[in-house]
Structure 1
């Protein structure tokens, strides 16, 4: 083989190695994401099985018992710490409060009968919100998440405003886009660093909220298909959830993130680069 022929074979090898390495990293990233979604995946397994298997009690009641057992199992298996379970339970209560209001307003409904329904809301529904908190807790651990800076006061205020807007927009102008713009502004310099197999990557924190919100919207479509709840336009035949819910989930993620971040700050696993000691700047809350 001539020298030119050998060079033609050798030259593509570095590019091939880079592509192969990128694909391997992508697979590692996907595997970590799957592990972060264990609680949410288990909830969906429960939804799917409960639609196909005859149960001795109403379906929503069985899902409540299943969710409680799942939470206990995650704690006993040390998949989540006591602090994480507490903050996830807090988000569960936040979600239940929203459910009670939204069902009364006719935003969506739970058509099946159950003993554990309060004002039309089955208590198992809070586990949908708990799954979001669980995902963020797992992501902090498995991706070794770190935030370079976080303006606590404005970010927490916007998170509370986003939650309040879910209630007030029924009576007052809807401010979700104003609040979303506020998040982009106050988190402009905030970057989240995550690690995949000793390699660190970074992305804007506000973008991570948007991406998580998208996947929650996809999950919501699957959940309504499985009869977890239904929107008014899904009463006769199932159809996709309106894409506007994507933005609603992205805003709700902000509240979940603030709750989990408070725990991670206390643990010293919030600021700085992966593996680095935490640092606190003037606009950050001390641990």
Structure 2
């Protein structure tokens, strides 16, 4: 049986039962079986992204339809909406209290970085509104919290296991150096490429095992990091297009976020994963029941 943190929420258990009824009797091999597994994987990913997806929808909606002459500044409206999403996630039992601590940690870590990065001119926000710290609107921390929400949710939805995961004290040192480099590279040597090599060396042997429905698959963890970083980069382009924040090269007119940001997001993924592993220690793959869309046991 999986550990306590792998338990589904009440709503997820209801979805689990309904999904099993729909998928009952589906073939275990052949093209239809592959399509079912792909569909389940995509649905799980969408469910894990619900916090970030809702936040992104609100940011885009504010760009398209929020009135310029509204009494409430757009940034303040985004902050209130982000708080409402978080309250809703807890009220509808989409997140547990234990997961909330991880998300709060992401929020604090991200907000501190935002304060520094905006101060040195790496990017900027509109200064309208009162719900902000300096030049950083409070909704910015929820964008990092959305990453934390995704990671803790996908951890249980796919019943993640890891083979040959490096020692946590080693990964913690690397993550701390990466986080420090986000600050220090403005004043001293930029060590991101050295840190990138260190990440590859340390995590190269690690395989992630994840449950879909009937299948438990595995993939190189570094490839997973890269895929998530690419997805965040796409979301970042939508966010900057919507005017949530802008980079210096986008001040005259909107342009794509530099692909070099993929390296920054990849390294940020390392920090994110390490924070999650200190709350939910990595487990070796074992024969356990699937957590979502699990097959019912056949009567003996």
TM-score by shorter chain over 0.5: yes
Q: Identify the residue that residue 237 of structure 2 maps to in structure 1.
A: 221
How far apart are residue 259 of structure 1 and its match?
Answer: 1.3
CA-to-aligned-CA distance 1:117-166 (integer Å, 9 cap, x gap): 22211111001111111110110111111122322111111111111111
Structure 2 contact 37–214 (Cα < 8 Å) conserved: no
CA shift for structure 1 position 69: 1.6
2-structure distance, mates of 1:155, 1:272: 17
Question: Gapped runs of 5+ residues in structure 1?
Answer: 1-16, 278-287
SS of structure 1 residue aligned to 2:30? helix
The answer to whether the aligner puts 1:207 opposite 2:223 as a matched pair is yes
Q: Which residue does the alignment assign to 1:180?
A: 196
Q: CA deviation at 1:207?
A: 1.8
The correspondence for 2:247, drawn from 228, 231, 244, is 231
What is the Cα deviation at residue 212 of structure 1? 0.7
Give matches, 1:67-146, under 5 Å. Answer: 67-146=82-161
Q: Cα deviations across residues 229-249 of structure 1 (Å, max 9, x unaligned)?
A: 000111111000000001101
Match for residue 66 of structure 2 among 53, 56, 74: 53
Which stretch shifts more, 173-182 or 126-135? 173-182
Distance 2:94 2:278 in 1: 19
How far 1:101 moved relative to its partner? Answer: 0.6
Deviation of 1:72 after TM superposition, in Å, equals 1.5
User: Which protein has the larger Cα radius of gyration, Structure 1 or Structure 2?
Assistant: 1
- In structure 2, distance between residues paired with 1:109 and 1:165: 20
- The aligned counterpart of 1:25 is 37
Q: Is the 8 A contact 1:88 1:130 kept in 2?
A: yes
C-alpha distance in 2, partners of 1:108/1:140?
31
Q: What's the C-alpha RMSD, in Å, of the aligned pairs?
A: 1.6
Q: CA contact under 8 A between 2:37 and 2:215: conserved in structure 1? A: no
Distance in 1 (CA, whole Å) between partners of 2:32 and 2:135 is 52
Which sections of structure 2, spanning at least 5 residues, go unmatched? 1-28, 290-300
What is the 5 A alignment of 1:1-12?
Answer: none
- Residues 154-199 of structure 1 deviation map (CA, whole Å, 9 limit, x = unaligned): 1111111111111111111211121111111111222111011121
After TM superposition, the structure 1 = structure 2 runs for residues 235-274 of structure 1, keeping only pairs within 5 Å, are 235-265=251-281, 270-273=282-285
Residues in 2 aligned to 1:90 and 1:65: alpha-carbon distance in whole angstroms: 20
User: Is 1:154 the equivalent of 2:167?
Assistant: no
Q: TM-score, normalised by structure 2?
A: 0.82
Q: Deviations over 1:60-111 (max 9, x none)?
A: 1111111112112111211111111111111111101111111011110002
Which has the larger displacement, 92-101 or 147-156? 147-156
Number of corresponding residues:
257
CA contact (8 A) 2:210 2:217 kept: yes
Q: Distance in 2 between matches of 1:113 and 1:34?
A: 32
